[in-house]
Amino acid sequence: MAISRRKALQFSGVFVASTAVNGYSKTDNLKPPKSLKTNTTYDAPIPKAKGPRVVVVGGGWSGLSVAKYTKIFAPDADVVLVEQRHEFVSCPLSNLWLVDKIELEFLTHDYLQAARENNYTFFHATATGLNREKRVLETSNGDIAFDYLVFAPGIDYDYSRWTDDIAFETRLRQEYPAGFIPGSEHITIRNKVLNFKGGNFILTVPSGNYRCLPAPYERACVIADYFKQKKLKAKVILLDENNAITIKKKGFQSAFDELYKDYIEYYPNTKIQNIDLDNKVVETEFDEIDFEEAAFYPHIRGAKILERAGIAKDAKNMLEADINPLTYEVHGEKNIFVSGDSRPMGFSKSGNTSNSEGHHVAKLLAQKINKTKEVKWQPPTTTCFSAVSIAPERAIYIYTQYAYNKTDASFSFKSTSASEDWKKDGEVNANSIYNWANALYNDMFNK
Could you report the average pLDDT of every consecutive run of 10 residues in the chain (447 residues)?
39 37 37 42 94 98 98 98 97 98 97 98 98 97 98 97 97 98 96 98 97 98 98 98 97 98 98 98 96 98 96 86 96 97 95 97 98 93 97 97 88 90 98 97 97
- Tell me if 53-154+303-376 shares its fold with 158-300: yes
Domain 158-300 -> CATH class: alpha beta
Give me the long-range contacts of 314-319 (CB less than 8 A, separation at least 24). Answer: 315/344, 316/208, 317/158, 317/160, 318/158, 318/208, 318/209, 318/344
Strands 288-290 and 281-284: antiparallel
Count Cα atoms within 13 angstroms, Cβ side, for 194.
13
Kind plus residue range of the DSSP H or E element containing 384: strand 381-390
Please, what is the angle between helix 422-445 and helix 249-258, to 10°? Answer: 120
At 406 the pLDDT is 85
Under a CB-based contact definition with an 8 Å cutoff, are residues 79 and 206 in contact?
no
Alpha-helical (H) ranges within 346-421 are 351-370
At 30 the pLDDT is 38
Q: What is the pTM of this model?
A: 0.90
SS (HEC) of 13-52: HHHHHHHHHCCCCCHHHCCCCCCCCCCCCCECCCCCCCCC
At 16 the pLDDT is 36
- Domain-by-domain residue ranges, the chain? 53-154+303-376, 158-300
At 369 the pLDDT is 98
> Going by CATH, does the domain composed of 53-154+303-376 fall within 3.40.50.300?
no
Q: Is 437 helix (H, G, I), strand (E, B) or coil?
A: helix
At 40 the pLDDT is 58
